[in-house]
Amino acid sequence: MGRRISDDSESRFAAYVEGIVEVIGHADRAGPLNDYCTGLMMAGERKSVEPMAAVTAPARTAAQHQSLLHFVGQSAWSDAKVLAKVCELVLPKIECHGPIEAWIIDDTGFPKKGKHSVGVARQYCGQLGKQDNCQVAVSLSIANHHASLPVAYRLYLPEDWTKDRKRLRKVGVPEEVDFKTKPEIALEQIEAACAAGLPRGVVLMDAGYGCNTDLRTGVSALGLRYVAGILPNTSVWAPGTGPLPPKKWSGRGRQPKLIRRDDKHRPVSVKELALNLPKRAWRTISWREGSAEQLSSRFARVRVRAAHHDYKLAESRAQEWLLIEWPEGEKEPTKYWLSTLPKDIAFRALVDFAKLRWRIERDYQELKQEVGLGHFEGRGWRGFHHHATLCIAAYGFLVSERETIPPCGPRSAGPFEKLAVSNGYRPRGSAAANPTTRSELDRDTAHPPQRRPRRQIIEMSMLRNSNTQKHTQKFVTQ
């Protein structure tokens, strides 16, 4: 039984890679593409080029190393075309379980030593939960309640980097790339997804993006709805209040057009509004199954108008939902969202959309732990994005394979034979290797991860089944 499953999976993988070959450019890239994706999905402590060369071609590791190195670091294939093809191949598998419901914006950080790798700077790193030396990439994922898939991915370049043209040329940043904030990158990704005709969903974002008024406005201008996390000090007009109309025109000078505030007409923070809501405004609502029990919390919602700098506008902003979470036992509310979902949306449905953003947390967890998203050791712009694109391609195959093995499937089942690697081999990026022998590609490599249990590709696809979802949810706090 295990052998038959293995053969079927291997043939599906071959067909999947062949589909990507159509957009990769030259036919001589088909072999490295297949080997790189295979290496990303094989069991291994490190998914950088050298150890992947050792497991995919143990009899000719040096030649394979050079082949994969050139393919990921130098070959001029299009990341956008490959990601679009991956989406085309995987989307039908996701939509078998329902339409796309959400587009999720987020970013992820990669701890990095030194200062020469592209985009590295001292900035906030979510993986570490603090400011440190790292790279940060912004992504857009499409999702429903069954699965999710990144469809856009771009490195954020801090402003200091974009001012140093010599430094940019050294790591191969294209001339047309200039400084953009993370929300600006995210909006470009959303615009591209709209232009590509991807199935539309509600745009979900945390407070790092949701507090950006221009991003929210841009999303609405594209005809998309959003559920955007915001900070407690975000100002809104409470129900029954609003700005004053423009001053009456005296007949001389320019006619006043801007709405106004005065001492009696001022917005309030969402925290102040929440603390003054009556007890009857709060309801306990559950949204999904957690690791041990149904997840639930206490919520309130009210219709408000966002007030940020609205005194520069001729009209006040449209009403939208303010959703507030205040768990039992907490001294004050813990989370806030603004949403342009319809006025008549059910309370539970509004909460469900706000909480669906947890899928991006699991995407990043699996991309990093299972297919080595953070293991790239090069310094260049092209290599950074090529490696991420191939990781997403490998992850896309795992998403499409999610239901091919039942939760109780044998742990020995896998699509590839276990590849022979000499007993004494230690990849230069591994924790067991001597640090003085690390890859010459990058002396800035992040701290290597701790060893985890080895598993084959089919076992990795089981991460997406319902049993493993419960385990994964332990790592996601909502």
Q: What is the 3-state secondary structure (H, E, C) of the chain?
A: CHHHHHHHHHHHHHHHHHHHHHHHCCHHHHHHHHHHHHHHHCCCCCCCHHHHHHHHCHHHHHHHHHHHHHHHHCCCCCHHHHHHHHHHHHHHHHHCCCCCCEEEEEEEEEECCCCCCCCCEEEEECCCCEEEEEEEEEEEEEECCCCEEEEEEEECCCHHHHCCHHHHHHCCCCCCCCCCCHHHHHHHHHHHHHHCCCCCCEEEECHHHHCCHHHHHHHHHCCCCEEEEECCCCEEECCCCCCECCCCCCCCCCCCCCCECECCECCEEHHHHHHCCCHHHCEEEEEEECCCCEEEEEEEEEEEEECCCHHHCCCCCCCEEEEEECCCCCCCCCEEEEECCCCCCCHHHHHHHHHCCHHHHHHHHHHHHCCCHHHCCCCCHHHHHHHHHHHHHHHHHHHHCCCCCCCCCCCCCCCCCCCCCCCCCCCCCCCCCCHHHCCCCCCCCCCCCCCCCCCCHHHHHHHHCHHHHHHHHHHCCC
> Which segment, 8-17, 100-109, 285-294, is predicted with the most confidence on average?
100-109
Q: Are 398 and 464 in contact (CB under 8 A)?
A: yes
The C-alpha atoms of residue 472 and residue 362 are separated, in whole angstroms, by 7
Is 60 exceeded by the pLDDT of residue 176? yes
Q: Are 111 and 134 in contact (CB under 8 A)?
A: yes
The radius of gyration of the chain from alpha carbons, rounded to an integer in Å, stands at 25
Residue 43 — pLDDT band, cuts 50, 70, 90? Answer: confident
Q: Are 277 and 332 in contact (CB under 8 A)?
A: no
Own/partner contacts of 216-219, CB < 8 Å, gap of 24 or more, are 216/306, 216/338, 218/187, 218/190, 218/191, 219/187, 219/190
Mean pLDDT across the chain: 84
Token readout for 430 is 């591994």
Q: What is the mean predicted confidence (pLDDT) over 450-475?
A: 39
User: Among 68-72, 189-193, 237-241, 470-474, where is mean pLDDT lowest?
Assistant: 470-474
Per-residue pLDDT of 277-319, as tens digits, reads: 999 999 999 998 766 678 999 999 999 999 998 888 888 899 9
The pLDDT of residue 168 = 96
- Through-space distance between the first and last CA atoms of the chain, rounded to whole angstroms: 40
Distances (CA, A) of 402 to 97, 110, 469, 474: 12, 27, 12, 20
Is 80 exceeded by the pLDDT of residue 425? no
Is 80 exceeded by the pLDDT of residue 440? no
The C-alpha atoms of residue 135 and residue 73 are separated, in whole angstroms, by 17
The domain locations on the chain are 2-204+361-475, 228-245+258-347
The pLDDT of residue 72 = 95
Is 80 exceeded by the pLDDT of residue 374? yes
Residue 113 — pLDDT band, cuts 50, 70, 90? Answer: confident
Is 90 exceeded by the pLDDT of residue 127? no
The number of beta carbons lying within 10 Å of the beta carbon of residue 298 is 17
**Which residues sit opposite 125 in a β-bridge?**
130
Q: What is the 3-state secondary structure (H, E, C) of 114-145?
A: CCCCCCCEEEEECCCCEEEEEEEEEEEEEECC
The C-alpha atoms of residue 430 and residue 451 are separated, in whole angstroms, by 9
Is 80 exceeded by the pLDDT of residue 195? yes
Is 70 exceeded by the pLDDT of residue 431? no
Is 60 exceeded by the pLDDT of residue 418? no
State the pTM of this model: 0.83
Q: What is the mean predicted confidence (pLDDT) over 200-227?
A: 97
Token readout for 308 is 């940020």
Is 70 exceeded by the pLDDT of residue 1? no
The C-alpha atoms of residue 41 and residue 12 are separated, in whole angstroms, by 14
Q: What is the mean predicted confidence (pLDDT) over 317-327?
A: 97
The pLDDT of residue 7 = 62
Would you tell me the crossing angle of helices 2-24 and 381-400 to the nearest 10 degrees?
Answer: 140
Q: Which amino acid, residue 115?
A: K
Residue 4 — pLDDT band, cuts 50, 70, 90? Answer: very low
The number of beta carbons lying within 10 Å of the beta carbon of residue 451 is 10
Residue 426 — pLDDT band, cuts 50, 70, 90? Answer: very low
**Residue 279: left if φ>0, alpha if ψ -120 to 50, beta else—which one?**
alpha
Residue with the bigger pLDDT between 407 and 247: it is 247
The greatest distance separating any two alpha carbons of the chain, rounded to the nearest whole angstrom, comes to 90
User: Among 76-80, 345-349, 466-470, where is mean pLDDT lowest?
Assistant: 466-470
Is 80 exceeded by the pLDDT of residue 208? yes
Q: What is the mean predicted confidence (pLDDT) over 140-155?
A: 96
The pLDDT of residue 404 = 65
Q: What is the mean predicted confidence (pLDDT) over 267-275?
A: 97
The pLDDT of residue 249 = 81
